[in-house]
Chain A
């Protein structure tokens, strides 16, 4: 089955094409078609996994050549797909979680007149995402990379009548493209320095001797810039909270489970470059840690519950980058997988709540919803507890491994900061639970539980959020780390730092402190959180505004950019350059009318006079050479 892997992306592409052109005719069937294709793709992906697992560990790489894409001299790039443990893991997440989100969307988008287009874009997204993770070279990866950006643009701005959605879509595309352009230069440099863009040729340990390590630092940092943009890391994270303007299944699929993890995948895939560089690895670590803490605090200040989840995603991605920076690649991918379960779960549950409350997203107008939406409330809580790191849920194992890696890596400061971020994570996510599902109702209307087509995917995702930890019970011997070892390297038994049990205990205590803190303020009823909000309004606004990063950007970058552009266009181009041209024109017109005093054939006259003049001068100069 390995050579049938091309079907996985192509099925999604076919679905996109059909729904784009015939989605209107298909009506309600559009969603079922798109979902069925995703389920089929997941099925094929499973057989691919099965076949791959039959091979001996060190032979688990299969490259499928489809056709030559760009060939100019020594520059050769083909459309090649790579099947190895890492790409298969990603492929399963994309098709598996993707299929569930597609099914959920059938219910969520039921009354939208443009659902054909919605599913076309969703399928197209899956296609590009699959190309991204299955790519065997940097250029096909870049194709997928830009393609998912496009679909993200189309889906954030899906309800384009709303200016705020249209703006968010453009912001997402442009912000990520800044990172992408650095990345593209990085790709160019990979070819110029290493002579190929194929992973099989350039991503081996032996590559280190071919160039000075500074070259790898530059390449790695350029690639990292792309990853920072796509995975919404500081300082290019500003697009993700705004991206919540898209339909909620989009937030779940693209802005939580898959696309935003592409940066993590990229760094993991090219970790050889980062390791040779060393410096670049430290940068990854710092970016991740800063992002994890920053976004966790910002999440604490949000009232819009989709924005809580957005900042939460940024923070969780920060944890993944942090893990990458610690060389705990398998732990990063493990966290990526479990996060895709519990965060997709939470987003989709949030979508159910919005459905029930007429698209209300303000948590101040929620509360007590567990009584009217018991299933949604339960699965959401499971997801939240998983994120908070409460054992034995999936998030406990994955996050614990990341934090433990910091301790074992010997950097105690990073470890403590990561614990702080973990504390804030538990705090903001439980605050969300208490404000939406617990306490007394503050909503109006008649909320209701979602239909089965939406609930079944939620329940399946909840299973993942609860039991996903089984994939990696131990960082060393767990199923997933062992499976990934041929690509990401063996995970060794830690030689220093605290014992695993001790670290787990500390992690659990920190998580419970966060849960308890949230309960004390928002759940116990002993503290008037509304009054608290008013008293600390300045801090509240600071956190809600995401530390005002957006405002700084618009003052420092956007506004001067616009002004500069206007000056160039109206003062320099129209005034100076074109003014000079027109002045010359007027001069010749004046000369022509004086010399000939004939007004007919205006153009011909002064053009000719001009022509002869230039000819005369040039002939004179020319023949003297």
Chain B
């Protein structure tokens, strides 16, 4: 059974059902989307079950020639990093769809857009052929553009266009770089190819590797987003409907971080060597800058959006530390940020549904009437600010540890992001939950059954990962180690065995 293909294209089957089905009742459309997304999640669990945690390479590889010339292959495979990106996607999609139940406008197209988006995202994480990846990568763009532009808030068109343009800007560089790599790959034994596994062996000149690194970097840095390419994010998040924000933050941003790990690190080691500190400095600026700007936001969605800039900085910082701990921590933060920030957007959406405002200064005292909703918000906020025992702490700690081992100053500055996170998250919680309730907001209901069902799985995972992170670490670590070793080895090729892949204690 081709489980990767099934997981990738099952959501597309939902699109095929929904799109031509004119006049389908809204409830039916919702249920179809829910069933399809849950089925996709179940199928993805099979991948998890069949995944060999101790192996470091790509698994469950599916390969077929698609076009002979140019040599384009349908090539899919999974490793310890993409595995969890796929699971995060399939896990959060039913959550997002259940959270979208109150959407009334063009429900059929709305659901179809989300399912189409899911195929694009899963495909991006699984494709091992660069052009195939590019196709999936671009396939994400269109449904997301629609989701923001059609179902978004007041400034939705401006935000959607901005999102589209920003990403197109990066994609242009990416496409050219991919084509350039293809042109160069004729020297490989198997002839020209887009196969990532082959391209790794391509002997690029240092100059070419640097240019290509930069082209890939721009494409993915926009997605991450890395400072200073982040300004589309607050607008897109603020205007997107709740589920759109959730998927955008939880998964779309990860495509960028994933791309940096999968392609930048694997393909251009000499580019990594050259730009590594530059990227890490941008990441640290992002950590502090995102947090400082979040401090002053009064729109709670913008606040969470800027917190994403800060948190994604940790991901990039850790992965570019090129230590085992930093890489594993960075990948873990991709998952953790997906869960925590996803949950924050869900909760903010629930607050908005009741109050019809995102302005923190119009809120207050909500903990009195809605103890469970506010309790859930506090729980997620605590996870996001790195409270030990919840998910984010382990990842953040590993990132700081892994970074500190190679660059003390950056590790130390990054740690200040932890203090700032406490300030802006607790401030926003206090504005919402504490104090006295404005008259008009005194009688809102607490969490409904549907909302509890939306939140419960996410909150449970946040706790489970915090208490028992081995579930993730044991599967991520072998792959993370391989990725780091490959970069370090090819950098130090000829100068002796690789060193510094571990933040090992000198006294041990």
**Could you tell me which A residues sit within 8 Å of B by CB distance?**
67-75, 117, 139, 142-143, 146-147, 150, 153, 157, 160-161, 163, 166-167, 169-170, 173-174, 177-178, 181, 184-185, 188-189, 191-196, 207, 210-211, 561-562, 564-566, 568-570, 573, 577-578, 581, 585, 588, 602-603, 606-607, 610-611, 614-615, 618-619, 621-623, 625
Out of A195, A561, A564, A619, name the residue touching B176 (CB < 8 Å): A619
Known: A74-B505, A161-B434, A174-B426; 5 extra A-B contacts, CB below 8 A, are: A71-B477, A143-B393, A157-B434, A185-B400, A192-B401
- Distance in Å: Cβ of B429 to nearest Cβ of chain A: 9
B368/A72 in contact, CB under 8 A:
no
Which residue of chain B has the shortest Cβ distance to A177 in the bound complex?
B422
- Provide a sorted-by-A list of 9 A–B residue pairs whose CB atoms are within 8 angstroms: A67-B468, A73-B477, A75-B398, A146-B393, A184-B418, A185-B412, A192-B505, A585-B162, A623-B183
A178/B419 in contact, CB under 8 A:
yes
Which residue of chain B has the shortest Cβ distance to A576 in the bound complex?
B228
- Distance in Å: Cβ of A211 to nearest Cβ of chain B: 7
Which residue of chain A has the shortest Cβ distance to B396 in the bound complex?
A184
Out of A142, A170, A193, A565, name the residue touching B505 (CB < 8 Å): A193
A569/B412 in contact, CB under 8 A:
no
Assembly CA distance A565 to B211 (angstroms): 35
- Distance in Å: Cβ of B176 to nearest Cβ of chain A: 4
- The 8 A-B residue pairs whose C-beta atoms are closest, nearest first, are A195-B505, A195-B508, A166-B434, A143-B388, A614-B172, A618-B176, A195-B507, A578-B231
A73/B481 in contact, CB under 8 A:
yes
Map CB proximity to A onto B138-154 as digits: 1 under 8 Å, 0 otherwise: 00000001000000000
- Distance in Å: Cβ of A351 to nearest Cβ of chain B: 23
Map CB proximity to A onto B479-494 as digits: 1 under 8 Å, 0 otherwise: 0010000000000000
Q: Provide the residues of chain B in CB contact with A139, threshold 8 Å.
A: 388, 397
A621/B505 in contact, CB under 8 A:
no
Out of B168, B183, B208, B415, name the residue touching A611 (CB < 8 Å): B168
Out of B165, B297, B435, name the residue touching A607 (CB < 8 Å): B165
B105-113, B239-247, B273-281, B287-295: which lies at the interface: B287-295
Contact A573:B293 (CB < 8 A) given known A192-B405, A622-B211: yes
Which residue of chain B has the shortest Cβ distance to A128 in the bound complex?
B389
A194/B507 in contact, CB under 8 A:
yes
Which residue of chain A has the shortest Cβ distance to B295 in the bound complex?
A565
Q: Provide the residues of chain A in CB contact with B504, threshold 8 Å.
A: 73-74, 195
Does B382 interact with chain A (Cβ within 8 Å)? yes
Q: Provide the residues of chain A in CB contact with B398, threshold 8 Å.
A: 70, 72, 75
A161/B165 in contact, CB under 8 A:
no
B325/A142 in contact, CB under 8 A:
no
Assembly CA distance A153 to B430 (angstroms): 11
A615/B507 in contact, CB under 8 A:
no
Out of A72, A163, A622, name the residue touching B477 (CB < 8 Å): A72
- Distance in Å: Cβ of B222 to nearest Cβ of chain A: 11
A569/B296 in contact, CB under 8 A:
yes
Assembly CA distance A622 to B213 (angstroms): 12
Assembly CA distance A58 to B172 (angstroms): 70
B172/A184 in contact, CB under 8 A:
no
- Distance in Å: Cβ of B24 to nearest Cβ of chain A: 29
Assembly CA distance A614 to B222 (angstroms): 16
Assembly CA distance A167 to B423 (angstroms): 11
Contact A160:B434 (CB < 8 A) given known A70-B398, A622-B176: yes
A194/B505 in contact, CB under 8 A:
yes
Out of A70, A161, A562, A564, name the residue touching B365 (CB < 8 Å): A161
B473/A72 in contact, CB under 8 A:
yes
Which residue of chain A has the shortest Cβ distance to B433 in the bound complex?
A160
- Distance in Å: Cβ of A470 to nearest Cβ of chain B: 38
Assembly CA distance A142 to B315 (angstroms): 22
Assembly CA distance A72 to B484 (angstroms): 13
Q: Provide the residues of chain A in CB contact with B296, threshold 8 Å.
A: 562, 565-566, 568-570
B172/A618 in contact, CB under 8 A:
yes
B507/A146 in contact, CB under 8 A:
no
B508/A142 in contact, CB under 8 A:
no
Assembly CA distance A211 to B503 (angstroms): 17
Does B328 interact with chain A (Cβ within 8 Å)? yes
B388/A73 in contact, CB under 8 A:
no
A577/B228 in contact, CB under 8 A:
yes
Out of B231, B401, B426, name the residue touching A188 (CB < 8 Å): B401
Contact A70:B473 (CB < 8 A) given known A565-B292, A565-B296, A625-B211: yes
Which residue of chain B has the shortest Cβ distance to A614 in the bound complex?
B172
Assembly CA distance A568 to B292 (angstroms): 8
Does B470 interact with chain A (Cβ within 8 Å)? yes
B394/A70 in contact, CB under 8 A:
yes
A577/B231 in contact, CB under 8 A:
yes
Does B404 interact with chain A (Cβ within 8 Å)? yes
Which residue of chain A has the shortest Cβ distance to B232 in the bound complex?
A581
Assembly CA distance A50 to B464 (angstroms): 35
- Distance in Å: Cβ of B213 to nearest Cβ of chain A: 13
Q: Provide the residues of chain A in CB contact with B66, threshold 8 Å.
A: none
Map CB proximity to A onto B374-409 as digits: 1 under 8 Å, 0 otherwise: 000000001000011100011001101100110000
Q: Provide the residues of chain A in CB contact with B164, threshold 8 Å.
A: 603, 607
Which residue of chain B has the shortest Cβ distance to A582 in the bound complex?
B162
Which residue of chain A has the shortest Cβ distance to B416 in the bound complex?
A181
Out of A72, A569, A606, name the residue touching B328 (CB < 8 Å): A72
Assembly CA distance A157 to B168 (angstroms): 48
Does B215 interact with chain A (Cβ within 8 Å)? yes
Assembly CA distance A214 to B162 (angstroms): 52
A71/B473 in contact, CB under 8 A:
yes
Which residue of chain A has the shortest Cβ distance to B429 in the bound complex?
A170
A615/B176 in contact, CB under 8 A:
yes
Does B21 interact with chain A (Cβ within 8 Å)? no
Q: Provide the residues of chain B in CB contact with A169, threshold 8 Å.
A: 430
A74/B419 in contact, CB under 8 A:
no
Contact A143:B434 (CB < 8 A) given known A74-B505, A195-B506: no
Contact A607:B507 (CB < 8 A) given known A73-B324, A74-B502: no
- Distance in Å: Cβ of B233 to nearest Cβ of chain A: 11
A185/B168 in contact, CB under 8 A:
no
Which residue of chain A has the shortest Cβ distance to B480 in the bound complex?
A72
Assembly CA distance A167 to B430 (angstroms): 8
Does B63 interact with chain A (Cβ within 8 Å)? no
Which residue of chain A has the shortest Cβ distance to B417 in the bound complex?
A181
Interface residues of B in 201-218 (CB under 8 A from A): 205, 207-208, 211, 215
A163/B435 in contact, CB under 8 A:
yes
Q: Provide the residues of chain A in CB contact with B171, threshold 8 Å.
A: 611
A163/B419 in contact, CB under 8 A:
no
Out of B162, B325, B433, name the residue touching A75 (CB < 8 Å): B325
Assembly CA distance A625 to B161 (angstroms): 34
Q: Provide the residues of chain A in CB contact with B394, threshold 8 Å.
A: 70
Which residue of chain A has the shortest Cβ distance to B474 in the bound complex?
A71
- Distance in Å: Cβ of A324 to nearest Cβ of chain B: 25
A185/B404 in contact, CB under 8 A:
yes
Which residue of chain B has the shortest Cβ distance to A140 in the bound complex?
B388
Q: Provide the residues of chain A in CB contact with B382, threshold 8 Å.
A: 150
Contact A161:B419 (CB < 8 A) given known A188-B404, A196-B508, A625-B211: no
- Distance in Å: Cβ of B366 to nearest Cβ of chain A: 10
